[in-house]
Structure 1
């Protein structure tokens, strides 16, 4: 099934907040590209290539006193969020297959939304990436695709990094 060409997805890149993970003095696509290059040796992983995880867990919630996400692709385990049960080890093929299926499900949900149904596969892909982070109910339009995502830039940053990897690493 065709979900679009990552190289053709429009992106603004990382927000100032996200770029501060590396203490960069700039934001945008250049910041995403710089962070991608920094993580290139660990490319197979999300969450800064696994660098931001604690024993496979990420996105700690002080309010809940628990972790919200599991594994390289940060599958949402929060009962108030995705409520998924982790599959496999945090860096395993089983985990990646689970997370990829979740992403594809979100892309399909976004494709079925009236606000996205007539848009290009690339715009639907970007919406699906945003929904993977925030949930499909929080993705209301392409123009505001990241308004409810982490850093308010999740899909833009993910796309910019993916484009850098595609161009520079052949991934």
Structure 2
């Protein structure tokens, strides 16, 4: 039986951004959920240019648009840290959602085609998580796998091998913020 992807984001536990991620906030001592919310807030103006595409992709894929926006915020700060050619500095990931080159990125760096591919990967990661886990943990595990690969998410400590050790917690907290302000 397929996992229902309509998850109440507020039911996903999160600790938010860890110390390394929180350092993106200049002259701030915020950490945790507060830091994640502040980072999402910094990105909201840039995110507006992607909003219609995010809504369309969310509707077509069944993934909450707030999660899509939160990944875009975490990966590229809503395009702010994206090079003009769409690749990251190591030329290993492409586009606003940073699809790894091994997945043969499709579309332009901020196109719906790119988002559909990225969200398709996310969905497959969520579905591949341990079926004995709660739906919320599977969702969070899938988000972690989006960052580090599904092979590195084998325990309920889903962020153990993610960048900064906080990827899914930070993404969930940012998504909760986007929902809270009714951005989506």
Classify the TM-score, shorter chain: 0.7 to 0.9
In the TM superposition, what is the alpha-carbon distance from 1:140 to its structure 2 partner? Answer: 1.6
Could you say which residue in structure 2 is the equivalent of 1:158? Answer: 171
Q: Distance in 2 between matches of 1:38 and 1:167?
A: 15
Alignment of 1:36-115 (within 5 A): 36-43=40-47, 44=50, 46=72, 47-55=76-84, 56-58=86-88, 60-61=89-90, 67-77=91-101, 83-110=102-129, 113=130
Where has structure 1 moved over 6 Å in runs of 4 or more?
Answer: none
- Of Structure 1 and Structure 2, which has the larger fraction of its residues in strand? 1
Could you say which residue in structure 2 is the equivalent of 1:135? Answer: 149
Cα deviation per residue 1:124-161 (whole Å; 9 max; x = unaligned)?
Answer: 1000000010001101212x210110111000000000
TM-score (norm: length of structure 2): 0.79
The equivalent position to 2:21 in structure 1, one of 18, 23, 27, is 18
Q: Distance in 2 between matches of 1:160 and 1:85?
A: 29
Q: Does 1:33 align with 2:27?
A: no
How many correspondences in the alignment?
Answer: 154
In the TM superposition, what is the alpha-carbon distance from 1:118 to its structure 2 partner? Answer: 2.0
Q: Which runs of 5+ in 2 are unaligned?
A: 51-68
Cα deviation per residue 1:45-96 (whole Å; 9 max; x = unaligned)?
Answer: 51111111112222x33xxxxx11111111011xxxxx11111100001000
- Of Structure 1 and Structure 2, which has the larger fraction of its residues in helix? 2
Q: Which runs of 5+ in 1 are unaligned?
A: 62-66, 78-82
